[in-house]
Amino acid sequence: MVEMKNKIIKSLAGAMATAIVLSGCNSAQLELDSEDEVAVEESDFADSENESDEESANESEESSEEKSDDDSKEDSSTEASNEYFYADVQDEYVYAVDEFLYEDITEVSVKVELLESYDGGNVYSLNIDYNDCPGRYYYETTDRFYLGTIYVTADRIYMIKDNESLPSKEDFEDSGIEICSALDSEIDKNGEVVSIENDGDVCTCSMYNSQTESGFYESFEWTKGKGLTHYRSGYGAEGDPIELDLKDTDTESASKDEVESADQTEAAAKEFFEDLIGTYSYDNGSQDGKEGIVEIKNIDDRLVIADYLGGNTSNYRYMFNTSECVKVEDNMAYVEYAHSAREDGTADYWYYVFEKTETGINVYFSKDSFEDVELLYNAKAD
Domains of the chain: 92-246 (no CATH), 256-381 (2.40.128)
DSSP output for 230-254: EEEEEETTTEEEEEEEESS-SS---
Q: What are phi and psi of 306, to 5 degrees?
A: -140, 145
Q: Is the pLDDT of residue 105 over 90?
A: yes
Q: Is the pLDDT of residue 380 over 50?
A: yes
pLDDT tens-digit series, residues 323-366? 999 999 989 999 999 888 776 667 889 999 999 999 999 999 99
Q: What is the pLDDT of residue 102?
A: 87
Q: What is the pLDDT of residue 97?
A: 95
pLDDT tens-digit series, residues 134-189? 889 877 778 999 999 999 999 999 999 888 899 999 999 999 999 999 999 999 98
Angle at 252 between CA 251 and CA 254, to 5 degrees: 135
pLDDT-derived band at 121, boundaries 50, 70, 90: very high
pLDDT-derived band at 38, boundaries 50, 70, 90: very low
d(C-alpha 352, C-alpha 364), whole Å = 6
pLDDT-derived band at 7, boundaries 50, 70, 90: very low
Mean pLDDT of 9-15: 40
Question: Which of 96, 104, 107, 152 lies closest to 126 in space, CA to CA?
Answer: 152
Q: Determine how many CB atoms are found less than 10 A away from the CB of residue 170.
A: 10
d(C-alpha 35, C-alpha 42), whole Å = 10
Q: What is the pLDDT of residue 15?
A: 38
CA dihedral 145, 149, 152, 158 (to 10 degrees): -100
d(C-alpha 34, C-alpha 73), whole Å = 58
Q: Is the pLDDT of residue 104 over 70?
A: yes
d(C-alpha 382, C-alpha 360), whole Å = 9
Side chain identity at residue 76, one-letter code? S
Residue 181, class by beta-carbon neighbours within 10 Å (0-12 exposed, 13-18 middle, 19+ buried)? middle
Q: Which of 74-78, 79-83, 304-308 shows the lowest per-residue confidence on average (mean pLDDT)?
A: 74-78
